[in-house]
Amino acid sequence: MRIIMASNFVQIMLLFRLYLGFLTLSAGSVFAEQILEGYSVVRGKGYAFEIKAPRSWVLDNEAAKDQGISLVFYPTGTSWDTSKAVIYVRVRTNGAAIRNIADQVNDTLRNLRETGSPNVMVKHLKTLTTQDASKAELYYFAGDKFGNFELTAYIQARGSIHFITLSARDQDSFRQATPAFDAVVTSYEDLTKQPAAESQ
C-alpha cells in the first residue's frame, strides 16, 4: 500500500513540476513581449538597428503587429490601446518614388491629405544625433482629422528610411512625452554600419 501511495505521490509531484515549468515558460513569453526599459533589435532585408525604451516606458513587440507595426513603446501603467501618448517604429525600403527623407515626408503629407485630413501641416523642428552618429531629422505634424499631435524622426539608412513616431491625443500628453521620444531616437544604433575605427 505504501509503495502505491509513494508511486502516486511521485507522479503527482512530477505533474506539479511540469505544470510549474509550463507556467514559468508562459510567464517568460509574456515578459519577452513587454519589457520595461529594454532594448530591441528591428531587422529586415538589408537593415538591422537597435533601439531602447526610455525610463518608465515599456517596449512591446506584439501589441500592434496586426497594424503592421513591429515595435511600440508606451508609459508604464498604460497600454498601446489606452495610453494618451505612444511611440512606434516603422521602416520603408527605398524605391523609385521614395529615395530620401524629403520624399518620405512629402508622401506622408500627401497620404494624410488624401485620406480626410486636408488641413494637415508639417514643420521641420530639429536634427538629433543618434547613438551611432546618424542624423535624425524631426518633423512635426498637426491638423489631422483625429486631432493627434505627431512628431516623427526620420533616419536615412542604406537602402531604407527608418522612422520613429510619437503620437499623442492631446497637447499636454505630447509635451510630457517629448523627452522620452528624444531618448528613444538618440538610442538608435544601425547595426549594419561599420564602426568608425574599422571604416578608416
Structural class in CATH, domain 37-192: alpha beta
- Start-to-end CA span in the chain (Å): 79
pLDDT value at position 196? 56
pLDDT digits (tens, 9 = 90+) for 145-184: 889 999 999 999 999 999 999 999 999 999 999 999 999 9
Could you tell me the three cell numbers for 54? 526610455
Residue 39 is predicted with a pLDDT of: 84
Does pLDDT of 27 surpass 90? no
pLDDT at 194: 72
Question: If you average pLDDT over residues 46-73, what whole number do you get?
Answer: 91
Cα–Cα distances in angstroms (integers) from residue 115 to residues 102, 146, 152, in the given order: 20, 11, 19
Residue 191: per-residue pLDDT: 94
Could you give the 3-state DSSP secondary structure of residue 182?
helix
Q: Which three cell numbers stand for residue 160?
A: 531604407
- The pLDDT score that the predictor gives to residue 96 is 87
**Average predicted confidence (pLDDT) for the chain:** 82
The predicted-structure confidence for 76-109, as pLDDT tens digits, reads as follows 999 999 999 999 999 999 988 899 999 999 999 9
Strand partners, 190: 49
Whether residue 34 has pLDDT greater than 80 = no
Evaluate if residue 13 carries a pLDDT over 60: no
Is the per-residue pLDDT at 16 higher than 60? Answer: no
Q: Which residue has the higher pLDDT, 196 or 86?
A: 86
- The predicted pLDDT at position 195 comes to 64
Distance CA 94, CA 18 (A): 49
Residue 6 has pLDDT above 80, yes or no: no
CA distances from 133 to 70, 125, 136, 156 (A): 24, 19, 9, 12
Q: What's the pLDDT at 82?
A: 94
Alpha carbon distance 157, 136 (integer Å): 10
